[in-house]
Amino acid sequence: MDLHIANKVFIVTGGAKGIGAAISKAIASEGGLVVVAGRNKDDNHTIVDEIVKMHGKAASHTVELGDPEACKELIDFTITKFGRIDGLVNNAGVNDGVGLENGSPEKFNQSLQKNLSHYYNLAHYALPHLKKTKGSIVNIGSKVAVTGQGNTSGYAASKGAINALTREWAVELLPYSIRVNTVLPAEVWTPLYANWIKTFDEPQKKIDSITSKIPFEKRFTTPEEIASTTVFLLSDQSGHTTGQILFVDGGYTHLDRSLT
């Protein structure tokens, strides 16, 4: 299937590692031009080099997304570099463990700034350019938005808001033929996830405990599976899909618990 994204321009926040890196590579593999945005300059350069070795096209911009002005600078950089924006992938965030009991109002607000505000800021500044291309926005969410997790109020609130904003923006942007959707992962095997697993006394036992609760094939979702759905939603092959929250999770969130 030709996704028709060749030579189109896409911003991927947190695009140098884990799910974001898989999305960046998937866009490039389809001929799209990627702007990788993140706070670590070395990581950004590494993924761009990998994409170039794939014969893809990419650029990177080192940015602290919690700063609204930096978000505007990212959009300006993309227009200066490539002249257009066809899609925005809001992916950057961190499950920072700011809970109700162990947190504070200050830490909660900081968590919202890290995990939510830049989704709005980037969409706001990208909007004039997305109107020109009838582009699309794909937000990356989390199962925590609908299941809860415990001790992560800031992250959960952010991801719940992202689900709501997806539908709000889908409605507001109907007149411009701009589609907005969210891809919602659950248990995805990334380097960050692997590092978390290593903190347990018996890592394999923890892995087995988690995968036993994933109905489809009792395995983790791969970053590439998240990326494939994301790129499809960016493309005009999903041209009548908007306001949707797609769970790419092996049935983890919704299927009957008797299966596990």
* Catalytic residue IDs: 155
Separation of alpha carbons 26 and 17, rounded Å:
13
Separation of alpha carbons 90 and 22, rounded Å:
14
Residue 53, classified by CB atoms within 10 Å of its CB into exposed (0-12), middle (13-18) or buried (19+), is exposed
Separation of alpha carbons 233 and 38, rounded Å:
22
Separation of alpha carbons 214 and 234, rounded Å:
27
Cα first-last separation, the chain: 34
Separation of alpha carbons 236 and 9, rounded Å:
14
* Tokens (6 digits) for 30: 């389809």
**Number of neighbouring beta carbons within 10 Å of residue 196:** 13
Q: Is 78 helix (H, G, I), strand (E, B) or coil?
A: helix
Residue 257 carries which side chain, given as an amino acid letter?
R
Cβ atoms 187, 210 nearer than 8 A: yes
Q: Which residue is associated with the tokens 């380097």?
A: 191
Angle between the N-to-C axes of helices 118-133 and 68-82, in degrees from 0 to 180, rounded to the nearest 10: 30
